[in-house]
Every structure is written in structure tokens, then in C-alpha cells.
Amino acid sequence: FLPLVAEFCCGLFVILILGKFWFLAVLYLLWLYLDWETPSKGGRRSQWVRGWTVWKYFREYFPIHLIKTSDLNPSYNYLLGFHPHGVLVAGAFGNFCTDSSFKNLFPGLTPYLHIMPIWFGCPFFREYVMSAGMVSASKKSVSYVLNNEGGGHASVIVIGGAEESLNAHPGSLTLNILKRKGFIKMALKHGAHLVPVFSFGENELFKQVANPKGSWLRNVQEKLQKKMGFALPLFHARGIFQYSFGLIPYRQPIHTVVGSPIHVKQNLNPTTEEIEQLHALYLQKLRQLFEEHKRNYGIPEHKSLIFE
């Protein structure tokens, strides 16, 4: 959906620059130049946008729930690893980019959802995503959020990234995480406590055209993902007045469970061994979180997470 909305915004900008109000487009380009670094410096959130009534209906449609398992002391900064990506990342958006129950469950914490830098180059669209509390997923941006000396900041990173959306089939429990250790290094360098987050139901919102690894479709999707920076899963769900086919997600409940924090001591120059050890501990805690809660959300007892 992000590519569709971004495409609409870019099309609107082209219409503007080719029309009689071209001077407004030129002024906006000047603004874009002057404001280019803002997505890497905490963004520019708007409580008015985050509180739009439409987001209340968005959360109730599925519905989306946020489940707390432990207190998060606002005196510290946190790095929340969100899993899985799914197609829509609905749980991450609904819980961290709208006026949801997060502020009541975790008072004193401000969440920042990190998304690919490419989206902040899109005219108009960038203003919206920043107003919702989204910031760049660049190292500079994550460092800016986690460098808050007074604590109270929570970086939310979808660890599997766009690549993981290609695994977003109903019932899939495959996470792209074994080679993703940059977030571990960032947590160590800034002394940010790690928090695993698992969003049950995220992969149930759409059906995706079969694309097993090694198939021609998967090969094409992976090549496009590497070139464009975002994946293009071929998905479908329901329509407005019928349930057989369409692009509207199914009404499947999403339960985003926030785990207990893994306390991290600041280490400005972590060794490879230290990163590996913390990564292994994170995987252990993520698996433990999933196993403790899977029965509550319809996951069969014999099913477990698959790390790739």
C-alpha cells in the first residue's frame, strides 16, 4: 500500500509542476532541499494526524490489539524488534503510528517506526509519514533516536525488512533474521535495551501467489527487491461487497505482543563475538515470547518459528 500511496503523491506532484501552479512545486522542491535531513533527526510527528478518527476505524477493522507483558522504564531508550513483516505491517502501523493504547500501556515512551529512506524522497508523502511518527531506517536516524540522554525513546524496527514480506503467506512462521545483526550492534553502541515484539495474525491478512524459493516468480521478486529497495508480493484478499477476491485485507485479529526487555550495557566498540552472543540471546527471547503466547492466538502446538 505504501508504494500505491507514494505513487499517487508523486503523480500529484508531476501534475502540479506541469500545470499553472508550477511555482508551488518549485517552492516545495526548495523546502524538500532544506528539510532533507529531518527524517533522520526524529521526524516531525503530529498528534493531530496520529489522532485522526480514521485510524480508530482502521484498528477496529481487524481488530488490532497491543499486549503488554512487562513494564518498560521510560528512563531508558529501547530498540523494539518487530516480527513478522507481513504484507501490510498493519500491527506496527496501528500500534506505533496512531493514537493507540501504546501511550497508556507504556507511559513516558515515544515510539518511532523506522521505514526505508526511499519513502522520504517522495513529495508530499514524506510529510504524511513523518507526521504519523515514522522516521528513516538509516543508521544515522536510529542513532539520533537512541541518543536521547533522558531516555523515553523507542526505536521500532521491522527486522525482516521488505524481503520478509515475500514469506507472508497465511500460516507462515518464517523470519528473515539470522543474517540481520545491525540492530544488535546499534543497541550495544547506544546501550538501548532490546525488546522482541511478535505480531500474531500479521501474515493472515492476505493470500499471496505461491512463490517458493527457487521459483521463477521468487527469483524475479528478489531481484526487483534488491534493485528498488522494496518488495512486490503478489497478494489478494477480499473486496468491498464480496469476500472472494480483492485488495482489501481480511478481517483477521492482530495481537501485537511486546516482550520483556533484554538489558543491554553500552559498548561503543562491540566485538563480533559480543554481537553474536547478544543476537543469540535475542533469538532465544523471541522464540520464548512466541512459545508462551502462541496458544492464545490459534497457533497449533507443534508449530514453531523458523529462522532464516
Residue 291 has pLDDT above 60, yes or no: yes
User: Pick the residue with more confidence: 189 or 240?
Assistant: 189
| pLDDT, tens digit (0-9, with 9 covering 90-100), for 120-153 | 988 888 999 999 999 999 999 999 999 999 999 9
- Per-residue confidence band for 1, with pLDDT thresholds at 50, 70 and 90: low
Range name among 36-40, 218-222, 255-259, 287-291 with the lowest pLDDT average: 218-222
| pLDDT, tens digit (0-9, with 9 covering 90-100), for 253-270 | 999 999 999 999 999 999
Domain boundaries, the chain: 1-36, 40-307
- Per-residue confidence band for 284, with pLDDT thresholds at 50, 70 and 90: very high
| pLDDT, tens digit (0-9, with 9 covering 90-100), for 153-204 | 999 999 999 899 999 999 999 999 999 999 999 999 999 999 999 999 999 9
User: Pick the residue with more confidence: 216 or 124?
Assistant: 216
Q: By C-alpha distance, which of 162, 144, 146 is closest to 154?
A: 146
| pLDDT, tens digit (0-9, with 9 covering 90-100), for 75-116 | 999 999 999 999 989 999 999 999 989 999 999 999 999 999
| pLDDT, tens digit (0-9, with 9 covering 90-100), for 13-35 | 677 777 777 777 788 889 889 99
Decide if 95 contacts 66 (C-beta within 8 A).
Answer: yes
- Per-residue confidence band for 9, with pLDDT thresholds at 50, 70 and 90: low
User: Pick the residue with more confidence: 243 or 141?
Assistant: 141
Neighbours of 303 (CB within 10 A): 11
* Structure confidence at residue 114 (pLDDT): 98
Question: pTM higher than 0.75 for the full model?
Answer: yes
- Per-residue confidence band for 302, with pLDDT thresholds at 50, 70 and 90: very high
Q: Which residues of 247-264 are buried (b: 16+ CB within 10 A; e: fewer)?
A: eebeebebbbbbbebbeb
User: What is the CB-side half-sphere exposure of residue 104 using CA atoms within 13 A?
Assistant: 8
3-state secondary structure 58-89: HHHHCCEEEEECCCCCCCCCEEEEEECCCCCC
- Per-residue confidence band for 293, with pLDDT thresholds at 50, 70 and 90: very high
Q: Which CATH number fits domain 40-307: 3.40.1130, 3.30.70, 2.60.40, 3.30.450?
A: 3.40.1130
* Structure confidence at residue 183 (pLDDT): 97
Run of H or E residues at 281 = helix 272-293
| pLDDT, tens digit (0-9, with 9 covering 90-100), for 37-74 | 999 999 999 999 999 999 999 999 999 999 999 999 99
Distance between CA atoms of 233 and 231, rounded to whole angstroms?
6
* Structure confidence at residue 83 (pLDDT): 98
Helix/strand/coil for 95: helix
* Structure confidence at residue 55 (pLDDT): 93
